[in-house]
Amino acid sequence: MSRRPAYLKSKSGSYWLVSALLAVLVWLIYGYGNDFPLQSLVEHSILKERHFQGQTEELFVPEAGLKTYYMYEDSSPLVAMSFLFDKSGTAYDPEAEQGTAVLTAMTLKDGAGKFEAEELREEMAVRGIQIGFGADKDMFSGYMITPKEFLPQATEYLRLILTQPRFERIYFDNAKERVLKTLATEKEDPDKELSLAFNRRIYGNHPYGRNPLGTATTIENIKRSDLQAFVRKKLGRDNLYIGIAGDLTKEEAVVMVKDIFKDLREESESVILPEPHIDWQQPVLHISRNGGQNIAAFAAQGTCRKCADFYPLYIANYLFGGAGLNSRLNQRIREKEGLTYGGYSGLVINDLSDLLTAGFSATAKKFGRAETLFEKEWKKVGQRGFSSEELASAQNYLTASYNLRFASVAGIAEMLAYMQKYDLGLDFLRKRNSYVKAVTLEQLNAAAKKYFNESLLQAEIGNFGGEKN
């Protein structure tokens, strides 16, 4: 029998037990499809009453002028770090260089320092080290996951990637080609076409309204030196949030942060974006297209992460369209009338614009009826709110399911980074469920009345031959 690598052995077994349970959960959901009783399973899960035991600490790294949120977690011999560079996302690309943040994220680890790209990939693969990057509207982000025994190597690899990236020509050219192909084929996907058009309708000429991939012209004109300049200028220590979790001491965490980030510039070069002006009275955006399904998307004003009504709106969104088959929306347009495979709603949190979004798809024949019922359910929430039974059910599920996020050190590290970004406090992980449970019916329905109103933007794509009933 072959011997398991040391870094795959769990000290207590609890991490791997929880991971295995999550894997079974995913298999069951996909195996049973949309009819799987997820809420019932979560409410009866052994994780429901699991309390978060980890202690979040703030560590200071004076040599680098940095701080990090840290949590010791020795249930598996892994170390995870998540980091966010604020005001360096796709909206902050210069207009003539749109797509720079995305291209940088795609190619940043394609060679660094003395390591060519293939050599670096092999070095990380044989040690089970994972490093990756991404970009959204506001932030350029990254992560590192490594077995504890290879922490020194992972630290050095990430340091080189952030300070001496090579952006090897063949991979840079391949990345540009992939982006250009994606841009050329985006209209073949109705969901993507609608999403991009609706985003432009909402934000107009504001950088939030751009295609995050850029344009064919800007991608073709971006040079490797632009990516090198992006890393040098945008990734600074002044706009950096770091979260660390796993099997390492506080002293080791401080050394790791110092070694990785101390050579970044002290102050990043960025711009201050204005807040977007959104006209909430714009007419419906119609895009004609033949296809099997018509798709509708909606957007209303949302609330900020630190606003007092965040948790009331969070619960209202869950009850309206975020609860899967149990939501008001799906019960009305899917379960009762079979008009759609499903609808949804969600909260979008951006630095300069917060949205409450929703949508559904249906055949052309059923679309009109589904649209009418959507409008009725939306107005009903705004006018009548929710019941005490609905509030209790949502609070039970949202507190029980939150514990599932504690199954990986990578997930914890990411939460620790975002806790700093949104200034949620060191004790957030312990207190989060109490915030959900503290929402009263009066607060819930006040949020429903405020946000589920007539200032609702709509976009739709498809063949609109159906009639409303």
Q: Is residue 13's pLDDT more than 90?
A: no
- Amino acid making up residue 355: L
Average pLDDT on 233-253 reads 97
Average pLDDT on 242-261 reads 98
Q: Output the pTM of the full model.
A: 0.87
Number of CB atoms found within 10 A of residue 180's CB: 17
Name the pLDDT band for 34 (thresholds 50, 70, 90).
very low
pLDDT at residue 19, rounded to an integer: 37
Tell me the pLDDT tens digit for each residue of 252-272: 999 999 999 999 999 999 889
Paired strand residues for 133 = 142
- Considering only 98-102, 231-235, 322-326, which range has the smallest mean pLDDT? 322-326
Alpha helices in 190-320 (DSSP H): 190-203, 216-221, 224-234, 250-261, 310-317
Q: Is residue 12's pLDDT more than 80?
A: no
Number of CB atoms found within 10 A of residue 274's CB: 8
Average pLDDT on 181-207 reads 97
Structure tokens at 440: 């009263």
- Amino acid making up residue 361: S
Residue 381, C-beta contacts closer than 8 angstroms, at least 6 positions apart = 316, 319, 320, 328, 448, 452
- Strand order, beta sheet including 66-72: 57-61, 66-72, 240-246, 78-86, 139-147, 130-135
The SS3 call for residue 171 is helix
- Among residues 77, 84, 26, which one has the least CA distance to residue 413? 84
Handedness of CA 459, 461, 465, 469 (dihedral sign): negative
Contact 321/339 with Cβ under 8 angstroms?
no
pLDDT at residue 85, rounded to an integer: 98
pLDDT at residue 176, rounded to an integer: 98
Tell me the pLDDT tens digit for each residue of 388-424: 999 999 999 999 988 777 778 999 999 999 999 999 9
How many whole angstroms separate alpha carbon 265 and alpha carbon 238? 8
Most confident of 6-10, 36-40, 280-284: 280-284
Tell me the pLDDT tens digit for each residue of 330-378: 999 998 889 998 899 999 999 999 999 999 999 999 999 999 999 999 9
- Considering only 6-15, 286-295, 394-403, which range has the smallest mean pLDDT? 6-15
Q: What length is written for the chain?
A: 469
**CA 1 to chain CA centroid, nearest Å:** 41
Contact 329/360 with Cβ under 8 angstroms?
yes
Tell me the pLDDT tens digit for each residue of 120-139: 999 999 999 999 999 999 99
Average pLDDT on 213-229 reads 98
Q: Is residue 432's pLDDT more than 90?
A: yes
Paired strand residues for 58 = 69
Structure tokens at 410: 């990578």
Q: Is residue 309's pLDDT more than 80?
A: yes
Residue 108 dihedral angles phi and psi, to the nearest 5°: -60, -35
- Among residues 284, 368, 387, which one has the least CA distance to residue 328? 387
Residue 148, C-beta contacts closer than 8 angstroms, at least 6 positions apart = 7, 77, 78, 79, 246, 247, 248
Q: What is the mean pLDDT of the chain?
A: 89
Average pLDDT on 433-450 reads 98
How many whole angstroms separate alpha carbon 179 and alpha carbon 214? 9
Name the pLDDT band for 379 (thresholds 50, 70, 90).
very high
How many whole angstroms separate alpha carbon 236 and alpha carbon 167? 19
How many whole angstroms separate alpha carbon 209 and alpha carbon 352? 12
